[in-house]
Amino acid sequence: MLRHFHYLRYVQEVLSFLGGISWWAWILIALGLVAVRDVIQRDHTISHNFPIVGHIRYMFEKIGPEIRQYFIANNREELPFNRRERSWIYASAKTENNYQGFGSDQDFYATNYHFIKPDLFPFRVDEKHISFRDPSFLPCAKVMGLANGRKRPFRPKSILNVSAMSYGSLSAKAVESLNKGAKKAGAYHNTGEGGLSPYHSNGADVVFHFGTGYFGVRSKEGSLDLNKLEKLVETNSFVRAIEVKLSQGAKPGKGGVLPGAKITAEIAAIRGVDEGKDVLSPASHKCFSTLDEMLDVIEEIAARTGLPVGIKSAIGKTHMWEELADKMVERGSGPDFITIDGGEGGTGAAPPSFADHVSLPFFNGFAQVYKIFQMRNLTDRIVFVASGKLGLPANAIRAFAMGADVINVAREAMMSIGCIQAQVCHTNTCPSGVATQSKWLQSGIDPTLKSERFYNYVKLFKKELLEITHASGYEHPCQYRLDDVETNTDDRSQISNLEEIYEYTKSEVSYTSLEDLASCPHLGGQNA
């Protein structure tokens, strides 16, 4: 007992001594311990050579992107989306004033700056016109699968849609928000390669997308299970088309990686993989290795599901595209739509060397592929889906002038529901909760509110795009021609239209009127 008493007395004396130390002395002690640790360690030379002070350097390095974003960069300087572009998306999503005053802050004479030509007499919209009643009604001018005789052709109800972003890379609440917003906007929602989740099932038209991992329709051997795919389509009538990913702009030819930190039990069950382990999608497909085999797979999928089937790819070497076009002529069949993803695509995690240098940017790549199919009179059989920083009306019009039929957006959609371009999508630490599986970080997303914001963005995008289209004398953007857009070709104020730059004339799209599109039996897959 006496021993225990002495022990307690000793503890009290120690605590009393420590309590007598001033707060500033504690700070000095803590800094001294950090300094000793810095000198002893050898992992970081700066911290070793400059104890304590070195940490300030690392802190500023860590928050450097935020400092540049908020305090240094001007409105047009940042990449991939500058402040002006982000502001337009945010304002549109929130139905705030998305105008700008006092003229443009762009350099009209800068190289590659493009201009859309207005007509002397704009297209007239009277009170009886469908655009007067619904300023955002703007379906695709073509029907997916009609040319190839698919059982369930599909005319996208919106020319602006959600690009391939999987549940796993995006949070559950982000996917739910986009799907609910897409339903209201009449847009389709591409699942991305992570499989069909419950969050894709809130009413929007869905394009089921699979890549080399075959998630959601995966066999035990890691290949495509057609029986699972057929069952998925049968039990989910809102699936309107199937997209086979060959590659994507962010990392063509590399496959995909989803960090184990993002693989929850639910995601693992949807994908058919192990919880908590990194998921690697191979660089190439198991179910086909040649163009003939790929075309056979496409036809089998179409026959068993009745749906249009398309392919998605970044663009590099063109000889395979030439061979594909030749085989489509020979066989009289092929993909119903082709999604061309620009090298500027960015929602997939990728090494900088891939993101910066591998594959062509959208406009260059699209022009090369379009010409290949045009030379073989195939453009009327294919719906061309364009993807790659096209979520701003002026960029989209340039794509339509070149031959695009539908626009897919990824990062622009993410920004409409709160993404701040933190560029940490691959770390599971997205501060806006959009690209993370952290329950805490995504708790700030209200799907009811965010779905409305995505709907607003799509609605105002189509409204503004239509207004520019009308100013050019057209009713639908599919009517744009290459010579309707001009570009500064160098710094000597030389200007050329897109027809002169890309050396082709866009094939005329069969189009009558928006009223006819509204009465189409395949609009939004309503015939299914």
Q: What is the pLDDT along the chain (528 residues), one digit of tens a residue?
A: 556 656 666 767 767 766 777 878 878 888 888 888 888 887 776 777 788 888 887 777 676 666 666 666 666 667 677 778 888 888 899 988 888 777 777 778 788 889 999 999 999 999 999 999 999 999 999 999 999 999 999 999 999 999 999 988 899 999 999 999 999 999 999 999 989 999 999 999 999 999 999 999 998 888 999 999 999 999 999 999 999 999 875 555 566 666 777 788 888 888 888 888 887 778 889 999 999 999 999 999 999 999 999 999 999 899 999 999 999 999 999 999 999 998 776 655 566 666 667 778 999 999 999 999 999 999 999 999 999 899 999 999 999 999 999 999 999 999 999 888 878 787 788 888 898 888 888 888 999 999 999 999 999 999 999 999 999 999 999 999 999 999 988 756 688 999 999 999 999 999 999 999 999 999 997 765
Length of the chain: 528
Whether cis (ω within 30° of 0) applies to the bond prior to 80 is yes
Tally Cβ neighbours within 10 Å of residue 65.
15
Helix locations, 102-243, DSSP H: 130-133, 172-185, 226-235
What is the C-alpha separation between 195 and 214, in angstroms, rounded? 8
Output the pLDDT for position 428. 82
DSSP secondary structure code for residue 72 in this structure? I
Output the pLDDT for position 248. 74
What is the C-alpha separation between 492 and 212, in angstroms, rounded? 47
Please provide residue 21's backbone torsions phi and psi, each rounded to the nearest 5 degrees.
-75, 130
Sheet holding 114-116, edge to edge: 114-116, 485-488, 495-497
DSSP secondary structure code for residue 117 in this structure? P
Q: Which sign does the torsion angle of CA 419, 421, 422, 423 carry?
A: positive
Helix (H) or strand (E) holding 327, with range, is helix 319-331
Give residue for tokens 């620009």: 342
Nearest to 178 by CA among 193, 156, 197: 197
Q: Collapsing DSSP states into helix, strand and coil, what is residue 258? A: strand
Q: Which sign does the torsion angle of CA 430, 192, 247, 382 carry?
A: negative
Residue 298 contacts residue 334 (beta carbons within 8 Å): yes
Output the pLDDT for position 260. 78
157-471: CATH, from 3.40.50.2020, 3.20.20.70, 3.40.30.120, 3.10.180.10: 3.20.20.70
Q: Can you give the residue ranges of every domain in the chain? A: 157-471
Structure tokens at 5: 């008493």
What is the C-alpha separation between 281 and 273, in angstroms, rounded? 11
What is the C-alpha separation between 52 and 220, in angstroms, rounded? 54
DSSP 65-115: HHHIIIIIS-TTT-SSS-HHHHHHHHHHHTT------SS--S-TTSTT-EE
Structure tokens at 115: 């201009």
Pairing verdict, β 205-210 and 495-497 = unpaired
Please provide residue 273's backbone torsions phi and psi, each rounded to the nearest 5 degrees.
-130, 180
Output the pLDDT for position 277. 83
Residue 474 contacts residue 466 (beta carbons within 8 Å): no
Q: Which burial class, exposed, middle or buried, applies to 297 when counting CB atoms under 10 A from its CB (0-12, 13-18, 19+)?
A: middle
Output the pLDDT for position 411. 92
Residue 509 contacts residue 142 (beta carbons within 8 Å): yes
Residue 425 contacts residue 347 (beta carbons within 8 Å): yes
Structure tokens at 272: 């058919």
Residue 156 contacts residue 390 (beta carbons within 8 Å): no
Output the pLDDT for position 471. 97
What torsion, rounded to 10 degrees, do the Cα atoms 38, 42, 45, 47 define? -10
What is the C-alpha separation between 496 and 76, in angstroms, rounded? 24
Cα maximum dimension of the chain: 104
Output the pLDDT for position 350. 62
